[in-house]
């Protein structure tokens, strides 16, 4: 009895020592200690008494992930392998096969081999489906199979993959891979430079400064900074990149939290490189987090004209916390606010709809803020560009096609049927687009609109109320109209779809480096940026 009492007292005391130091937890201390004791007791009894053998590690992993799933998608638990992967992502280099790989349940798909790295030298191509790594069958591997490809530089890994229905095997010698934050910079014309910023890791600001100086030496008097598709990364590097273009001691971002110590203001701390060069920043719906800090700050400070589509809307800040046995968790600790005071978080994960999905802030609930010069900007849904381009904003049907990887898959099919040698003159034709539409049909592409879902729900209710016979004809007509709309929607989005197809196809032949070269003369957003910068009065009109 005495030992049992000691156990019951020990766990709450342990919880007290862990949580007492944090003011945010003081009021919840008893409830936290109580729930820890309940869970510890349950976990012990389950593993000791369950009818079959249990794996405590797997059970705990499931418990943790299930608990975090009800919060936001950025609060995550990392085992030892995940911690290393996170370090790689932030540091910008790692050892592996040198390819972007999509992990599916039964296979690993090569999304993009990096030019002249291990996978490329071994002959792997985008679209190859890896089904076996050494002696491990991917479909049988319970953890992230992508980890099987990583290893020490100089070691070898044998992969079995499927290409166009044929099974092949190759051996890849792993090597160090340097992931550049700035994968490309060049001159668009005689006086306009172009810098692509792909991610925010520890090298981002240094690489951006080097690129800017190189372009200025080549005669750049104007600049386009491309943040499209940039998912973000390190907050401090977002501040440092902003600092390149704005003076020292300028507020860039503020973080606000329920925990007082996380309430911080971030100012530029260095002398800038150029506060005068006319600047256009390109963003799209995949520009998130640190990308939004940079674009939002430069917009609020009237330092750049932002062009493209509304950004993703991730206004949440995470911080890694070390746990025991080499594990970590990343916790959302605060929201960030741009210099004008706006938070651009788009999704509300704490007030979900009836289906459990995060709700989006409605436009009528956006709040207005003022830039440094008094221009009106809004919160609530990502950074809204000064010039919104319809071509940049993905339509509903385009998103559906992308989500089913059909642009990627068509590019793979196209690559093995065609030979492109002249990048400058490459252009998809009407015949190619018709072929793509046939490809969609052959792959049973279909998508359900929100309107269809609402109609189907209404019909279900009508059946319950025995009204379905009364509305059957009208319902059939509505469905027919919607189907006609969806068929027409593909044609209506022809320009956007051809642009996305062209980008993916160009990468197959000329790698990402070739894609950026192709952009210079073919990309609509870059051309619009050049047009804005060409006329000083036009450029300034966006900032006044």
Query: Residue 503 phi/psi, 5° resolution?
Result: -60, -45
Does 43 reside within a domain?
A: yes
Nearest to 22 by CA among 318, 256, 258: 258
The verdict on 255 and 359 lying in the same domain is yes
pLDDT at 466: 67
Nearest to 116 by CA among 137, 98, 93, 90: 98
Does 529 reside within a domain?
A: no
Which letter, b or e, does each residue of 95-112 get, where b requires 16 or more Cβ atoms within 10 Å of its Cβ? Answer: bbbbbebebeeebbbbeb
**d(Cα 210, Cα 513) in Å, to the nearest integer?**
18
pLDDT at 477: 72
pLDDT at 493: 93
The verdict on 295 and 433 lying in the same domain is no
Does 62 reside within a domain?
A: no
pLDDT at 27: 57
Which pair of tokens denotes residue 377? 């900007």
CATH classification at residue 221: 3.90.226.10
The verdict on 362 and 220 lying in the same domain is yes
Q: In angstroms, what is the C-alpha Rg of the chain? A: 26
**Count of structural domains within the chain:** 5
Nearest to 229 by CA among 293, 312, 286: 286
The verdict on 475 and 425 lying in the same domain is no
**Catalytic (active-site) positions:** 289, 300, 314
pLDDT at 15: 46
**d(Cα 156, Cα 118) in Å, to the nearest integer?**
10
Does 533 reside within a domain?
A: no
Parallel/antiparallel/unpaired status of strands 175-178 and 93-96: antiparallel
Q: Exposed, middle or buried by CB within 10 Å (0-12, 13-18, 19+), for 183?
A: middle
Does 544 reside within a domain?
A: no
Task: Give the CA distances from residue 273 to residues 227, 244, 296, in Å, rounded to whole numbers and listed in that order.
Answer: 19, 5, 19
Which pair of tokens denotes residue 228? 């499209």
Domain that holds residue 434: 396-445+493-524
Does 426 reside within a domain?
A: yes
Does 208 reside within a domain?
A: yes
pLDDT at 150: 84
pLDDT at 455: 66
**Which residues of the chain are modeled with pLDDT < 50?**
1-16, 18-21, 23-24, 88, 90-93
Does 532 reside within a domain?
A: no
* Domain stop point among 130, 158, 178: 178
Distance of CA 268 to the CA centre of its chain: 26
The verdict on 170 and 196 lying in the same domain is no
The verdict on 211 and 131 lying in the same domain is no
């Amino acid at each position: 009895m005495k030992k049992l009492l000691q156990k019951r007292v020990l766990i709450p005391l342990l919880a007290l020592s862990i949580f007492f130091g944090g003011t945010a937890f003081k009021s919840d201390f008893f409830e936290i200690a109580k729930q820890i004791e309940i869970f510890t007791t349950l976990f012990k009894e389950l593993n000791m008494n369950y009818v079959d053998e249990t794996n405590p590690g797997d059970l705990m992993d499931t418990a943790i992930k299930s608990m975090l799933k009800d919060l936001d998608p950025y609060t995550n638990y990392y085992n030892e392998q995940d911690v290393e992967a996170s370090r790689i992502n932030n540091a910008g280099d790692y050892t592996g096969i040198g390819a972007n790989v999509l992990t599916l349940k039964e296979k690993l798909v090569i999304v993009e081999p990096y030019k002249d790295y291990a996978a490329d030298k071994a002959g792997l191509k985008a679209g190859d489906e890896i089904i076996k790594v050494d002696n491990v069958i991917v479909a049988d591997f319970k953890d992230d199979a992508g980890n099987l490809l990583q290893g020490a530089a100089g070691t070898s890994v044998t992969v079995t993959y499927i290409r166009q229905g044929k099974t092949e095997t190759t051996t890849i010698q792993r090597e160090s891979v340097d992931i550049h934050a700035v994968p490309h910079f060049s001159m668009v014309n005689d006086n306009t430079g172009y810098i692509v910023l792909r991610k925010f890791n520890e090298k981002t600001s240094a690489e951006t400064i080097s690129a800017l100086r190189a372009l200025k030496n080549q005669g750049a008097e104007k600049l386009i900074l491309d943040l499209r598709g940039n998912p973000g990364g390190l907050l401090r590097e977002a501040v440092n990149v902003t600092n390149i273009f704005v003076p020292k001691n300028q507020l860039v971002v503020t973080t606000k939290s329920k925990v007082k110590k996380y309430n911080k203001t971030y100012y530029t701390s260095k002398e800038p490189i150029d506060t005068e060069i006319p600047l256009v920043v390109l963003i799209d719906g995949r520009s998130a987090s640190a990308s939004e800090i940079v674009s939002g700050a430069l917009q609020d400070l009237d330092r750049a004209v932002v062009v493209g589509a509304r950004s993703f809307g991730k206004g949440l800040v995470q911080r890694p916390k070390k746990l025991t046995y080499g594990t970590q968790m990343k916790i959302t600790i605060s929201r960030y606010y741009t210099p004008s005071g706006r938070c651009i978080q788009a999704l509300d994960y704490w007030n979900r709809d009836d289906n459990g999905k995060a709700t989006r802030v409605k436009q009528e609930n956006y709040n207005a803020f003022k830039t440094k010069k008094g221009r009106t900007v809004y919160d609530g849904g990502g950074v809204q560009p000064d010039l919104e381009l319809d071509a940049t904003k993905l339509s509903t049907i385009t998103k559906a096609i992308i989500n089913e990887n059909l642009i990627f898959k068509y590019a793979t099919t196209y690559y093995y049927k065609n030979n492109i040698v002249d990048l400058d003159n490459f252009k998809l034709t009407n015949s190619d687009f018709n072929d793509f539409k046939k490809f969609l049909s052959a792959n049973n592409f279909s998508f359900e609109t929100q309107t269809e879902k609402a109609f189907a729900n209404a019909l279900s209710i009508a059946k319950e109320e025995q009204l379905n016979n009364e509305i059957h004809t009208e319902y059939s007509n509505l469905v027919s109209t919607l189907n006609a709309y969806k068929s027409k929607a593909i044609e209506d989005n022809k320009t956007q779809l051809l642009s996305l197809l062209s980008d993916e196809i160009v990468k197959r032949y000329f790698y990402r480096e070739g894609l950026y070269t192709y952009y210079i003369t073919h990309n609509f957003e870059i051309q619009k940026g050049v047009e804005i910068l060409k006329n000083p009065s036009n450029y300034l009109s966006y900032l006044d």
